[in-house]
Structure 1
Amino acid sequence: MVEATNDLVEVTAGDFEAAVIEESFRRPVLVDFWADWCSPCQMLMPVLAKLVDEYAGKFRLAKVNSDEQQGLASQFGVRSLPTVMCFRNGKPVDQFMGVQPESAIRAIIDKYLERPSDRIREQALARLEAGDVAGAVENLRAAVATDPEHHDLKIDLARALVQAGDAQGAEQQLNLLPMDVHEQDAVKQLRARLVFAKNANGTDLATLEQAVRDHADDPEALERLAAAYMVAGRSQEAMDLYLKLMQRHRSYNDNAGQKGLLAAFEVLGPRHELVGQYRRRMVSLLY
């Protein structure tokens, strides 16, 4: 057994909260679920111990004897040994099972290490939350310039640019991402938001609402207002307008009403309370 240090600790149910959950707010914590009888566990341990020494405090390795701590193993759904979970900011964010190459383990650790640009990102997201969109964009551009391989920064910048009304700039940022990152839900949702931002074309809500009042059955006015509502976060009002487009102008702009609803579902996500309701209403209009 490798000697325990502050960076390599034996963990039980009694100290898991402090040793893993609380510590994961400061640095990544790898939790190694193992057992004495498990040969692959014994093979993996020297690799993990080597990385602990090499990273010199940048992450913690917490070892859980699954035979002695069956409650913990059950709580985290451990079905085979070894199972190694990475905890960050209070929750499991990654895992692997079995013996893995050192390079693969290193990639997981590196993914969750704090980077200098993370502090700038935190400031930017705080400004975005406070409504200072221009300030957030400025911070995120600076962060991307200092850490161009940090792909989450580009996603955050694209999201801020959408809020700032710069759909073209947002699309440029998303186009810089590697192909595998394009499959992430956050990127798919942003792509869908860009459809709305382009349709709204930067026109303010009051102008678009007046256009619909003046021309209540104009499909272009309905589509642009629905898009603007989605950009503004007024999703239910937007989907009501897209349903109206489907009912009255099915052929307009290659069935823009249905396409708008599908994009809205993508933005909101499948678990949103409105998605099931409006999906059923959309289907009832189709058949």
Structure 2
Amino acid sequence: MPIIEIANLSKKFGSFTALHNVNLTVNQGEVVGFIGPNGAGKSTTIRILLGLLRPSSGSVRIFNKDAFTQAIPIHKKMAYVPGDVTLWPNLTGGQVIDILLQMNGPIPTQRRDELITLFQLDPTKKCQTYSKGNRQKIALIAALATEADLYIFDEPTSGLDPLMERVFQQCVKELQHHKKTILLSSHILSEVERLCDKIAIIKDGTIIETGSLQTMQHVTRALYTVDVQKPLDDLYQQAGVFDIQQDGLRYTFYVDNSAIPHVMTYLAMHHIVSITSMPLTLEDLFMAHYEKGGD
């Protein structure tokens, strides 16, 4: 069942087009990674999902409700964590967490306390004394303690150390186990790769690729390592071969999937000792899309 439905979404600020014909569906229980460089349109899309901006055209529906005109009932079933958290400076962290939780009804004290322990937060300190990482923990604890159906995380681990990043990832997996729906925007591609069922890549306000990592791996490039008896002097001239690295008689390189038959034929004509293929990481795929202009 679709939880988020974005159809032909465009957003203009004056003459500047921030989003153009964005289409994305997030189904119940999915963890979807939303990635792209700064200025690609991620934050604008999220602000529209939150009902903070009205689309210029197209539609955005959450729980089958209009994200802008029906934001209030949507927010009752949603939790959100921004990448830059601002808190009331003279309140303690614990007070802020409780204020945020009270907006959704009775405070789930047991879950709140479990998360405070997991994230190693001192809730008695005033917010003005907190580092960026500790401010981020406040927002994460408040969101994760909320019994929501949809969680939107926008750079949620910004400022966290690797140990706390791991805690966050464990919490996301727990939500996933309970069939919660998650939209995760993050620059930490290894985190997205580890957690997400589906990935949407946005560039210049347009989503250029959507699908599972496994699907994307089959339609972009492959990484090969080849050991040979004699140098492959003309490997550099083969179409569809990129980023060749040579270490003696070992070559490592990427091959566009469309060029694999040609490259295999080429390699078969040489003295190959061994050949191995490795699946691409999300970072490899991300860079391949941007190097090729998203084609």
TM-score (norm 1): 0.28
Largest Rg, 1 or 2: 1
Q: Which has the higher contact order (CA 8 A, sep 6+)?
A: 2
Query: With structure 2 as the length reference, what TM-score do the two structures score?
Result: 0.28
